[in-house]
Amino acid sequence: MDYSMEDTQNAAPDAHETSKLSSTAQRADTQSVTKRLQHELMELMLSPSPGISAFPNADGNLLSWTATITGPTETPYDGLSLKLSFTFPNNYPYAAPTVLFITPIYHPNVDFSGRICLDILRDKWSAVYNVQTVLLSLQSLLGEPNNASPLNAQAAELWDNDKEEFKRHVLARHRDIDEE
Amino acid sequence: MIQTVPIPASRRRVFDSVFSPASLDDFSPTPVATPALDYTAVGQPFGGGIQTYDRTSLPRPSTASSFLSNDTVPLADEVDKTTWDHAWQVATAFLVLPDAKLSYLEVCGEVDQERFFKQWNRHDPPSKETTEALAYLLGASSAGRQSSGITFERPDLLEWYGNETRRHFLKNFREGLLLLLRATEIGDALQKTVQYLHLARTIYLAPVVEHILPLLDTKAQEKSFGAFQEGFHAVVAYSLPWNTLSPLLAQEVTKEAFIILGIDTLATTDDDENDMEVDRQCTISYLEWREEPSDEVRMHMMAENDDAQVTAARDRLLSLFNGLQLVGLGGDRAQKVFASVMDALLTEFTREAYTGQWEGPSLVVHHLRQWIENVFARLVVQVLAIIHPPEQGSQASDRLSISLSTVERWQESGIARLGALRTGELFDVIVDWPASSGAIEDLRHFTTHPAARLYVTQTFITALNQRLLHPGASTVEILQVYISIIRGFTLLDPKGVLLDRIARPIRRYLRDRDDTIKAIVGGLLADPDEADEQVQPAAGSSADETLVELSAELAKAHRSSLQRADSGELDWDDMNWMPDPVDAAPDYRKSKSSDVIGSLISLFESKEAFVKEMQQMLADRLLRKRGDFEQELSVVEFLKVRFGDSALQACEVMLRDIFDSKRVDASVRNDQRLAQEPDPGVDQPELHAKILSRFFWPELQPLEFKVPEPVAVQQQQYAEGFESLKQSRKLTWHNGLGQVTVELDLEDRVFVDQVTTWQATVIYAFQSSSSALAVEDLSQELAMSAALVRSACLFWVSKRILTEVQRDHFCVLEVLPSETDENAATGGSHPVDAGQDSEEADRSAATANAAAAADAAAAAAAKETADAAAMEKMNLYWQFIMGMLTNQGAMPLQRIVMMLKIAVPGGFPFSNEELREFLAGMVNKGKLEIVSGGNYKIIRDA
């Protein structure tokens, strides 16, 4: 016999009460995700790395964040402020977050809609990575693009052959999106 | 109901068509068709007053003369008519009523019956002529009318007499009676009215009964008597406004029924017992009844309730109703009044008899049932037997007999009243809980159907919201009441549906309180035996503010939970399983833990909060210097049963640490030869340590300072000993925690006390120097915050070990100054104290001052550290704010606060204003700027 349904019904009041208790408390399956993300946020705040920062969006659940990378010196992106969006799946950290550049960027490994080609965001993802490591990887990617597998072939070519022209493209494409 | 106030013209016309419109004085006793008779003069002879009243002054002569004059009418029919007319004259003259005001009725009591009636033209044996005339008229009207083919109109004599009485009543009595009724100051207006009406009825009825009825056959007798009576009732009902009468009646009935039902004795039970003993041998007081051991005697008490006073009241009431019924004021309307009075009195009785009678086991319901059956129902039956509605017949007898089922209905109604009473009292009952179980038993009889249960819960929740769930009530109070509610309602409704309903608002409210967990955990850990000596610096509350009973409950619940294994919702082997009650809430769930502890612990969704608080409390208590921790051990054991072993792992480790410490301490001391310090001459402190596993203990506030040299040496030694005993473990000393027993050898006294480590350290610093030491120097020397040093110094001042020679400079008080010295000394250093004469007062005042100062300083020191910690935290929040503003763009203050509350683990403890201040500081530092709309924007550093 299947009594699972009965159990669910009986458990309903608890769930009800819980949701009333705190707005952050999510259902059981997302609870661990929330916890993990809260932890990551705390870590990020306790040991901030220069040039990167991230914070959850104001929608009340922690599953979407906005991050900011300041372009490293000695790169064409020097001093530019680049924004990214993080969307975490329900089974994070066992699956990679979806990371996109919101700021238009001209980069060999980023296409024109902001999608990023980075191995740790795809097949090389592991649960030991976190927001901070992803941001740091992206920061270094700005200075050392992986021109072997470019999403933007023109950019890859320019990067290799004409840095000046590349930088001109970067600056032409860049737009601050600070003020919404 | 007929009003005597002016009626609108249209309505007057309607009335006029029914009642004689003519002036009452002009009322003619004879038909208009009869030859003119001067009847207008009829009333006049009486006008002069009753004293002059004389039989001869009746207009008999004139009747006679007209009789003769009518003789000349030629028609054959006329002969009959003439005879009839003559007879009519005689009869009406005999029956006519002399006009007289109501005041004449009042003399009734003074003159004797015979003369009285004589005055009213009654009890006069009719003359032969009159008798004949009556007989003729009645005979003609009853028998002769059809046979003799009489053509002229011959009015019915009885009808005429009915009109005559009506006229007489309206003209003479009505006014007076109305005056009487309106004169409210006359207490017995009702009785008087009834009495007068009764007399009037007798006067009106006398000739009918005596002279007319005998002439009729029985069937007609009954009919005409009934008709006459009805006519009288109608005129009475018309002329006396019922809405004036009914309050009087209600008042009267209430007064008497109060005595008959015994309510009066209840009200006075308290104040004049002696009086009552004399007055009333038997009462129906519930208390006395309850004390009576045997049921029979109880029954007896109730049935034998009648004593003289009751009997008298009963007689009065019954006779009143008798009178009312007789004069036509009984019937439906009197019944209604009576019913409403009894209804009110039933409530009154329950209120008077049972308010505050909460002792268990309760016999209230039993008592109430008996009372209704024996006292209440008895009165109702008696009264209803008298006042019955006028329509007689088969149904009347049905109505009178009060069936047993009716009495049962009354009993149910009485119990409902009791339920309402108890519901109203419920809050006080709960507050009083263990002593008021009886009231709950009473309520059980009431809460038998869903509507009543709903009523109880709703009323109670309203009371709760008004009286308990407000900021003025302390959390402990609320918890206390909640515990009582759980116990009380479990008894009231074992299924727990009511409790479930009641508990929701309380639980919701308790969740909002910050200190709920603290109060609960404190209660769990409280030791019932040492509740008094318990000091709880954390809670800062007195002993009675802790829920001591929780710990007792915990032990109790533990035992019971061992007995029945909690198999949860689906207990297949439960042969006593019952479906949920019909009025259970949709998400109602019979709580597995209907016990108190379970309910309290399930207040919050996670056990973590409890465990954390538990750890905190436990740490606090374990670090105190005590021999054993039996209580803590057992509490943790009990909680393990509920929370599971893993949840309380940390607590367990903490306990183990303490127990292990003892052993380790002994062995380390042994190994390092710290224990044997045979030479008492060497001033060597004794060091014991508690070894805590840092990982499992809550964060202890570090309070670092340099301990005195000998202690530091020992610590070193001890640590070495420990590290050799336990490989790969290291000791970190928490100098701020712990107790020191100090023994101070002063010149004239020895001081021994247990103080904190930092206090001891400070006083140790004075050991070497006899001169005054400045706080600042001490602070540097000991690496201790100045505030803490000062606090410690003030502590020692309060113990009269140190004295403050000038601000922030202290020196040791080697010799307690003699009285004069002290005056001088204090005069020197504390000019404020100089003027005081009383040495004792001075000393105690000075000590108290110093103690208060020490406390204040300690508080200041504590605040300083707390402030530092808060600043530390603010730094963290700054990181959050920076992250937020960098990534989400500029935001207004409100939004920042909201986001912080969501994002910061453990919540954001500062108010909007504090944050505003902080952000303003950041703006000043050039880290933020305020852009349009009050939004804060981060300034990108170049």
Q: Which residues of A touch B501 (CB under 8 A)?
A: none
Name the phi and psi angles at A18, rounded to 5.
-60, -45
- Determine the length of chain B: 942
Q: What is the side-by-side order of every strand in the sheet holding B773-774?
A: B773-774, B809-812, B802-806
Interface touch B589/A10, C-beta < 8 Å: yes
Q: In Å, how far is A148's CA from the nearest CA of chain B?
A: 31
Q: In Å, how far is B879's CA from the nearest CA of chain A?
A: 5
**CB contact set of B400 (below 8 Å; sequence gap of 6+):** B384, B385, B388
Which of A16, A58, A62 lies closest to B587 in CB terms? A16
User: What is the pLDDT, as a whole number, of residue B34?
Assistant: 43
Interface touch A48/B511, C-beta < 8 Å: no
Distance CA A104, CA B90 (A): 130
Tell me the one-letter amino acid at A96.
A
Name the phi and psi angles at B832, rounded to 5.
-60, -40
Tell me the one-letter amino acid at A85.
S
User: What is the pLDDT, as a whole number, of residue B18?
Assistant: 66
Q: Which residues of A touch B604 (CB under 8 A)?
A: 21
Average pLDDT score over residue span A32-54: 84
Name the phi and psi angles at A70, rounded to 5.
-90, 130
Scan for tokens 């003993």, then name that residue. Answer: B277
Q: In Å, how far is A105's CA from the nearest CA of chain B?
A: 17
Distance CA B145, CA B151 (A): 9
Q: Which of B624, B782, B764, B626 is nearest to B703 (CA)?
A: B782
**CB contact set of B511 (below 8 Å; sequence gap of 6+):** A21, B603, B604
From residue A156, alpha-carbon distances to A50, A72, A77, A107, A115 in Å are 27, 19, 15, 8, 15
Is any Cβ of chain B less than 8 angstroms from the Cβ of A133? no
Intervals of CATH 1.10.10.10 along chain B? 876-938
Q: Is the dihedral of CA B190, B196, B199, B205 positive or negative?
A: negative
Is any Cβ of chain B less than 8 angstroms from the Cβ of A36? no
Is any Cβ of chain B less than 8 angstroms from the Cβ of A148? no
The 8-class DSSP code of residue B544 comes to G
Distance CA B924, CA B669 (A): 58
Distance in Å from the first CA to the final CA of chain A: 56
Distance CA B180, CA B178 (A): 5
Scan for tokens 């001459």, then name that residue. Answer: B681
Mean pLDDT per 10-residue interval, chain B, length 942 residues: 55 66 47 42 39 39 39 52 75 70 56 56 63 68 46 64 77 74 66 76 73 70 76 77 76 78 61 39 58 62 63 80 76 81 84 77 78 80 72 46 77 85 84 79 80 86 85 82 82 78 83 80 69 40 56 64 49 68 64 63 74 81 72 78 77 84 81 58 69 78 76 82 79 80 80 82 77 79 80 80 78 68 42 43 62 72 70 77 83 83 74 82 84 80 52
Distance CA A81, CA B940 (A): 10
Write down the domain spans for chain A: 23-173
Instruction: Count chain A–chain B contacts defined by CB atoms under 8 A.
Output: 70
Radius of gyration of chain B (CA): 50
Q: Which residue in chain A is spatially nearest to B938 when comparing CA positions? A: A178
Q: Give the CA dihedral B615, B619, B621, B623, nearest 10 degrees.
A: 170
**CB contact set of A39 (below 8 Å; sequence gap of 6+):** none
Helices (H), B140-241: 145-147, 157-168, 174-182, 189-207, 218-239
Interface touch A53/B880, C-beta < 8 Å: no
Q: Which residue in chain A is spatially nearest to B897 when comparing CA positions? A: A58
Which of A12, A21, A24 lies closest to B605 in CB terms? A21
Q: Which of B587, B588, B614, B615 is nearest to B601 (CA)?
A: B614
Instruction: Collect all residues from B whose CB is shorter than 8 A from any CB in A.
Output: 508, 511, 569-570, 587-589, 604-605, 876, 879-880, 882-884, 886-890, 895, 898-899, 902-903, 905, 940
Are residues B772 and B809 in contact, defined by beta-carbon separation less than 8 angstroms? yes
For residues B718-736, one letter each, b for 16 or more C-beta atoms within 10 angstroms of the residue's C-beta and e for the rest, the string is bbebbeeeeeeeebebbbb
Q: In Å, how far is A99's CA from the nearest CA of chain B?
A: 14
Write out the E strands in B215-314: none
Is any Cβ of chain B less than 8 angstroms from the Cβ of A120? no
pTM: 0.57
Are residues B134 and B126 in contact, defined by beta-carbon separation less than 8 angstroms? yes
User: What is the pLDDT, as a whole number, of residue B275?
Assistant: 38
Distance CA B254, CA B340 (A): 10
Distance CA B896, CA B884 (A): 8
Interface touch B569/A10, C-beta < 8 Å: yes
Q: Which two tokens stand for residue B717?
A: 């030694």
Distance CA B94, CA B82 (A): 18
Residue B811, strand partner residues: B803
Write out the E strands in B767-817: 773-774, 802-806, 809-812
User: What is the pLDDT, as a whole number, of residue B536?
Assistant: 40
Q: Which residues of B touch A25 (CB under 8 A)?
A: 605
User: What is the pLDDT, as a whole number, of residue B756?
Assistant: 82
User: Quick check: bond before B537 cis, omega within 30?
Assistant: no
Q: Which of B903, B890, B931 is nearest to A57 (CA)?
A: B903
Interface touch B605/A56, C-beta < 8 Å: no
SS3 of residue B120 by DSSP: coil
The 8-class DSSP code of residue B753 comes to E
Query: Chain B neighbours among A 88-107 (CB < 8 Å)?
Result: none
Q: Which residues of A touch B605 (CB under 8 A)?
A: 14, 17-18, 21, 25
Q: Which of B909, B890, B908, B910 is nearest to B899 (CA)?
A: B908
Distance CA A68, CA B807 (A): 55
**CB contact set of A171 (below 8 Å; sequence gap of 6+):** A76
Q: Which residues of A are catalytic?
A: 117
Distance in Å from the first CA to the final CA of chain B: 98
Interface touch A13/B589, C-beta < 8 Å: yes
Distance CA B912, CA B590 (A): 43
Are residues B673 and B718 in contact, defined by beta-carbon separation less than 8 angstroms? no
- Architecture of the domain whose range is A23-173: Roll (3.10)
User: What is the pLDDT, as a whole number, of residue A100?
Assistant: 92
Which of A18, A55, A180 lies closest to B884 in CB terms? A55
Q: Which two tokens stand for residue A17?
A: 């009460």
Q: Which CATH number fits domain B876-938: 1.10.10.10, 1.25.40.10, 3.60.20.10, 3.40.50.300?
A: 1.10.10.10
Which of B888, B895, B905 lies closest to A38 in CB terms? B905
Distance CA B312, CA B921 (A): 90
User: Quick check: bond before A93 cis, omega within 30?
Assistant: yes
Q: Which residue in chain A is spatially nearest to B511 when comparing CA positions? A: A21
Are residues B173 and B212 in contact, defined by beta-carbon separation less than 8 angstroms? no
**CB contact set of B218 (below 8 Å; sequence gap of 6+):** none
Distance CA B493, CA B440 (A): 10
Interface touch A66/B605, C-beta < 8 Å: no
Distance CA B702, CA B784 (A): 12
Q: In Å, how far is B713's CA from the nearest CA of chain A?
A: 37
SS3 of residue B738 by DSSP: coil
ipTM of the complex: 0.75
The C-alpha angle with vertex B896 and arms to B890 and B897, in degrees rounded to 5, equals 165
Distance CA A61, CA A143 (A): 33
Residue A74, strand partner residues: none
Tell me the one-letter amino acid at A144.
E
**CB contact set of B145 (below 8 Å; sequence gap of 6+):** B154
Q: Which two tokens stand for residue B48?
A: 């002069």
Q: Which two tokens stand for residue B158?
A: 């009885």
Is any Cβ of chain B less than 8 angstroms from the Cβ of A147? no
Name the phi and psi angles at A49, rounded to 5.
-100, 145
Report the residue of A2, A18, A42 to disrupt the B interface, i.e. the one with the largest count of B CBs within 10 Å: A42
